[in-house]
A = this chain, B = another copy of it.
Amino acid sequence: MEYQYANRMEIFGLSPIREVLKLAADPSYISLAAGSPSPASYPVKEMKEIMDRLMEEQPVRMLQYGVSEGYAPLQKALKDRMREKYQTGTDEDRILITSGAQQGIESFAKAFLNEGDGVICEDPSFISALNAIRCYNGARLIGIPVDDDGMRIDLLEEALKREKNIKFIYTINTFQNPTGVTMPLERRKQMLELAKKYHVMILEDAPYFELRYSGEYVPTLKSMDTDGIVAFVGSLSKIIAPGIRVGFLMAPQSVIKKVTKSKQIGDVHTSTLMQAMSCEFLTKYDVDAHIDRICKMYRESRDVMLEALSDIDERVRYTRPDGGLFLWAEMPEGYSAEELQDRMLEKGKVLMITGPAFAATPGRFTNCFRLNFSMPTHENIRRGVDVLKECVKEYLR
């Protein structure tokens, strides 16, 4: 049989990141490639306790079909937490529970995008989100360069003026993946004004926003949204665990209603037990203390990595993130991160993710790479960065 696949399948490959992660499963590698929170951050004891209780007290509810919108107590817990702690969400907003933040992005894209519709994003950005978007709009992404304050707002306005049929701006505005940069308040306000002016929505993806290690909290775009123009994607992967696949979308009721249809045809509903477990953890345990512990751990790891990088060849520029899981480095133009990666593998089996994996505009970032500090031990961060520095030295000679 000769299979005739849909055109959309030509747009994207298997995520290169996930392919590298398969290699990284081999413990003889030092991986600075991960996109994951550290297993040491998982509240294992608490989760075990909770699941035990749930399966004891209400097994049928945990195992029967649930509604597509999500487990109501979890919807409420997330809504309350977002409002009370982050002043995010209004009476008009609703919450849809999704199977990870990825499904929030994918279902939103499915609900809004026709073939050929434009989506503006940071360039570089999170490849799996870009793939979900490409799947529905025939890959019409308009990538806007990023500086130390996130998406460049002057170039955003130019794009909004120039491009037709822009449906939304996709932004990871806090501890961005892959660059680690955060958009300051003033620029957020400008982005919101531009979105209003040009009548486009904003999909604010915030998987890391609670993982801050230094600097001041910056309010979410959603907290400033009085026009129902922002949809907020949240994740429990980084504050509970990623394997549970629970995330959420917060948006005005009418938007949630449509996106719920998208999600419903995707997987009917998210595993009830995983939702209920999340809810119990958020409501009956001290989740803020838990996040503080995670932040303390990651702060140390970030500092170890920044310290190790401090004497790298000065032609390599890198970001100094206030939170999240990553930093981003850039060699001078003309040098290839692929080539550097090959040398690092040869010299010390060190893995990272090279820049093109994050390019919204194909061909960009060949001289860049992303480093993760949440997964490796301090020792492996030091050893990995040492190998990196030696390879940079030889390669840039």
Number of copies: 2
12 CB contacts below 8 A, A to B, read: A3-B255, A15-B264, A42-B59, A48-B55, A48-B56, A51-B55, A98-B267, A99-B266, A106-B266, A245-B267, A245-B269, A273-B274
Contact B44–A265 (Cβ < 8 Å): no
Interface set of A (CB-CB < 8 Å, partner B)? 1-9, 12-15, 18, 21-22, 35-36, 39, 42, 44, 47-48, 51-52, 55-56, 59-60, 62-68, 98-100, 102-103, 106, 110-115, 117, 128, 131-132, 135-136, 167, 199, 201, 227-229, 241-245, 252, 254-255, 257-258, 260-262, 264-274
Contact A18–B264 (Cβ < 8 Å): yes
Name the residue of chain B whose CB is nearest to the CB of A68: B18
Contact A60–B42 (Cβ < 8 Å): yes
- How distant is the Cα of A193 from the Cα of B381 in the complex, in angstroms? 59
Give A72 Cβ to nearest chain B Cβ, in Å. Answer: 11
Cβ-neighbour of A265 out of B12, B60, B113 (below 8 A):
B12
Give A329 Cβ to nearest chain B Cβ, in Å. Answer: 23
Main secondary structure of the interface of A (DSSP, over half): helix
Contact A44–B36 (Cβ < 8 Å): no
Contact B273–A113 (Cβ < 8 Å): no
| Leading 5 A-B pairs by shortest Cβ distance | A63-B241, A99-B267, A243-B272, A39-B60, A63-B243
- How distant is the Cα of A227 from the Cα of B3 in the complex, in angstroms? 11
Name the residue of chain B whose CB is nearest to the CB of A228: B1
Contact A5–B258 (Cβ < 8 Å): yes
Residues of B within 8 A of A265 (CB): 12, 102, 106, 128, 131-132, 135
